[in-house]
Amino acid sequence: MTDRSIEFQAIHDAYRPRVRRYVTRLVGEADAEDVTQHVLLKLSDSLGQFRGESSLSTWVYRIATNAALDQLRRPSDQAMQGLGSVMTTEDSDSNSEAEGALTEESIPSVETSAIRQEMSQCIRDFVERLPDNYKTVIVLSELEGFKNSEISDILGISLDAVKIRLHRAREKLRQELSTGCSFHRDERDEFACDRKP
């Protein structure tokens, strides 16, 4: 194996699950595998051009973001399914490992877990409806955990533009949630939401 193929294999192994999860959140489960394959092909083809001016993670996510946005611009019946309408295998695996480490006293009740899952799905559904530029910045910040400076590099926009877009996206999401959901505390004083009819 050449140095380049070894290097690509390391990138593939480290980033493929993350890229798959990320693009699933943007384009939906139906198109995620195709977009992931496109991203990996682009990474392989462009590896020689990576000069290290940004972090490897930023470079990978920039390519993934561009591929996902290209997919969303294509006419498709399912192009807007996005943002984790179904949890990916990687998410499920990491969640089950974390749950296995919990003691019996700390395991939430089935009812509490169901409420949290329903609320998470409700919020994901509203994030899915955001315009693509807002959805992308919310997913990168809130779900992928990138700092504003990293998002700036990934999206190729200024740090101020990231802050403004993130502020507007959060405000839009807050408005959508307050219009579409009724938030309250349940009998256990846990945060919960009900969709408004």
Q: What is the pLDDT of residue 67?
A: 95
The owner of tokens 């839009």 is 172
Measured distance CA(125)–CA(107) in Å, rounded: 26
- Average of per-residue pLDDT across 143-149: 92
Please say if the pLDDT value at position 104 is more than 60: no
Q: What is the pLDDT of residue 53?
A: 82
Residues 6+ away with beta carbon under 8 Å from 165: 133, 134, 137, 157
Measured distance CA(99)–CA(62) in Å, rounded: 32
Q: What is the pLDDT of residue 96?
A: 39
pTM of the predicted model as reported, rounded to 2 decimal places: 0.67
CATH 1.10.10.10 domain extents, the chain: 108-197
**Whole-number average pLDDT of the chain:** 77
Whether the CA torsion 50, 51, 52, 55 is positive or negative: it is: negative
Q: What is the pLDDT of residue 87?
A: 34
Q: Would you mind telling me the total number of residues written for the chain in this entry?
A: 197
Please say if the pLDDT value at position 190 is more than 70: no
The CATH classification number of 1-97 equals 1.10.1740.10
Measured distance CA(65)–CA(26) in Å, rounded: 9
- Average of per-residue pLDDT across 142-165: 94
Please say if the pLDDT value at position 111 is more than 50: yes
Higher-pLDDT residue of 113 and 55 is 55
Report the share of the chain in percent with pLDDT over 90: 44
CATH 1.10.1740.10 domain extents, the chain: 1-97
Confidence of residue 90 (pLDDT cuts 50, 70, 90): very low
Structure tokens at 137: 């910045």
Tell me, letter by letter, the H, E, C secondary structure of the chain.
CCHHHHHHHHHHHHHHHHHHHHHHHHHCHHHHHHHHHHHHHHHHHHHHHCCCCCCHHHHHHHHHHHHHHHHHHCCCCCCCCCCCCCCCHHHHHHHHHHHHCCCHHHCCCHHHHHHHHHHHHHHHHHHHCCCHHHHHHHHHHHHCCCCHHHHHHHHCCCHHHHHHHHHHHHHHHHHHHHHHEEEEECCCCCEEEEECC
Q: What is the pLDDT of residue 106?
A: 41
The CATH classification number of 108-197 equals 1.10.10.10
Q: What is the pLDDT of residues 35-81, one digit of tens each?
A: 999 999 999 999 888 888 889 999 999 999 999 999 988 864 443 34
**Which of 120, 98, 140, 123 lies closest to 176, judged by CA?**
123
Report the share of the chain in percent with pLDDT over 70: 67
Instruction: Give the number of other Cβ atoms within 10 Å of residue 146's Cβ.
Output: 21
